Amino acid sequence: MITALLLVAIVAQDPSAAVSPASNLEGRPAAAERSSLQPRIDAAAPGATIDVGPGTYTGDLYIDRAVRLVGHGRPRLVGSGAGSVVRIRANSVAVEGFDIDGREGGSLSFDSAGIHVAAHLAIIRDCRIVRALFGVYLREADGAVIERVTIEGVPGKDAGEQGSGIHLWNTTGFTIRDNEIRYSRDGFYIQSSTGGLVAHNRVSDVRYGLHYMFSDGNTFEDNVFERSAAGAALMYSKRLVFRRNQFLHNRGFASVGLLLKACDEVIAEDNLIADNARGVFLEGSYRDTFRRNLIAESDVALVIYDSSHQIRFEHNAFVGNLSPLQLSGRHTDTSFHANYWSDNTAADLDGDGLTDTPYRLSNIFDHLRGNLVAADLFAQGFGAKVLGAAERTFPVLEPIPVVDDEPLARPPALPDVPTIHARQGRSTLGLMTSSLVLCGGLLLFRGRRS
């Protein structure tokens, strides 16, 4: 029930999801709001490079020709407060090397941003954007590249009063890499945008690290989504690939590491999903495959609704979770094969690397946990272990047949799963690295529940 509330909140109408009509596209700023750099833009020939030296330049820029605007010595572009600081309206524009201050101005109705792009083949590189409603907004901006950009919203500001760090609408063939986003509404909001690569980004302290709708065929690699209500919430999309990402420390009311709602043919491999209220959430999704992931130290490793079908988990490691599975419904065809479960005590007498009996993902105590919130307090206690062992020996409930048919007896080597570094820990929870090392040198969390 609690997790369902998160899903309802995500599906609910989001102001940032509204597409502004063409009349709402910000045009050339009024004379009193223009940057002192505007005459240089207006005088430049297409294809020119405009070099900007150190200093503070107040006002908004309108770029309507293919130029390369390059800052040297970190010049500051301080907006007028009336709208987007930089407005790109021509193809093949590059903006590099600037500090941009939105002054908390503009309007969500006009998608005001530090840099607003409504043209193709834009390059935004080596910039720092602060106090803008949206950091970078890509509107029908095919072929855009955003690299090495730091975006910071306003800490403590209500999520409904600001936009996302990087927002994409109806954009194809995009590349977003090596960026860092904090304190915005969502880290990335991606809608109706396909064929893109999102890699080596870090998002923290937002509402949803990745908020996503109706976008097919995108790849996410080596990103970190942490300390948010949801690491990633993806809906109504297909053919997505997640590799070597980290979904960490997403805790709070009904928080989740990775949520898939009506997402089909997803491949998730070699990801680290750790210290979340819920590790993976699946609802209404088909033919998704999870392999070689480490899902650890979460209250519930997996939440699966019976509306999901043909889901497969293989060669994953489930370590230190309070519960492996919360199943919503009376049946599931989800298959589990050759995964490692840290609470599986069955023996491997023949030494083939597999335990001699299948691993059952639920027991009577997990049933109680699904109906009594206070049962969580005792989930790691001696009584819970005794109750679970007794129920496996003498079943008193008709079990839902969810088993791993050939569970691994030992932790698998997962060399491509990211390793936790000290700076990623949560000091507020007293997290520390444990002595448990999975064969690939993977460090897990300990101490959170002390």
Collapsing DSSP to helix, strand or coil, 157 comes out as coil
SS (H, E, C) 214-239: CCCCCEEECCEEECCCEEEEEEEEEC
Q: Can you list the residues of the chain whose pLDDT is less than 50?
A: 1-2, 11-21, 364-365, 367-379, 383, 387, 423, 426-450
CB 134 within 8 A of CB 116: yes
CB 232 within 8 A of CB 212: yes
Beta strands in 3-48 (DSSP E): none
Interior angle at CA 304, CA 301 and CA 306, nearest 5: 160
Q: Of the candidates 235, 240, 230, which has an alpha carbon nearest to the alpha carbon of residue 204?
A: 230
Average pLDDT of the chain, as a whole number: 86
Residues 19 and 134: their CA atoms lie apart, in Å, by 14
Q: How many residues does the chain have?
A: 450
Indicate the class that CATH gives domain 89-95+106-423.
mainly beta
Collapsing DSSP to helix, strand or coil, 130 comes out as strand
Collapsing DSSP to helix, strand or coil, 376 comes out as helix
Residues 257 and 249: their CA atoms lie apart, in Å, by 8
Q: What is the pLDDT of residue 364?
A: 45
CB 377 within 8 A of CB 360: no
- Give Cβ neighbours of residue 235 (< 8 Å, ≥ 6 apart): 10, 11, 212, 213, 214, 260, 261, 262, 263
Residues 442 and 432: their CA atoms lie apart, in Å, by 14
User: pLDDT, tens digit, for every residue of 383-426?
Assistant: 455 545 555 555 555 556 799 999 999 999 999 999 976 545 54
Residues 50 and 298: their CA atoms lie apart, in Å, by 51
Q: What is the pLDDT of residue 385?
A: 55
Sign of the dihedral through C-alpha 136, 226, 371, 236: positive
Residues 19 and 109: their CA atoms lie apart, in Å, by 9
| Reported pTM | 0.86
Phi, psi at 386, each rounded to 5°? -65, -45
Residues 37 and 27: their CA atoms lie apart, in Å, by 17
Residues 295 and 444: their CA atoms lie apart, in Å, by 10
Q: What is the pLDDT of residue 325?
A: 94
Q: Of the candidates 354, 349, 448, 350, which has an alpha carbon nearest to the alpha carbon of residue 404?
A: 354
CB 38 within 8 A of CB 62: yes
Token pair belonging to 359: 């691993």
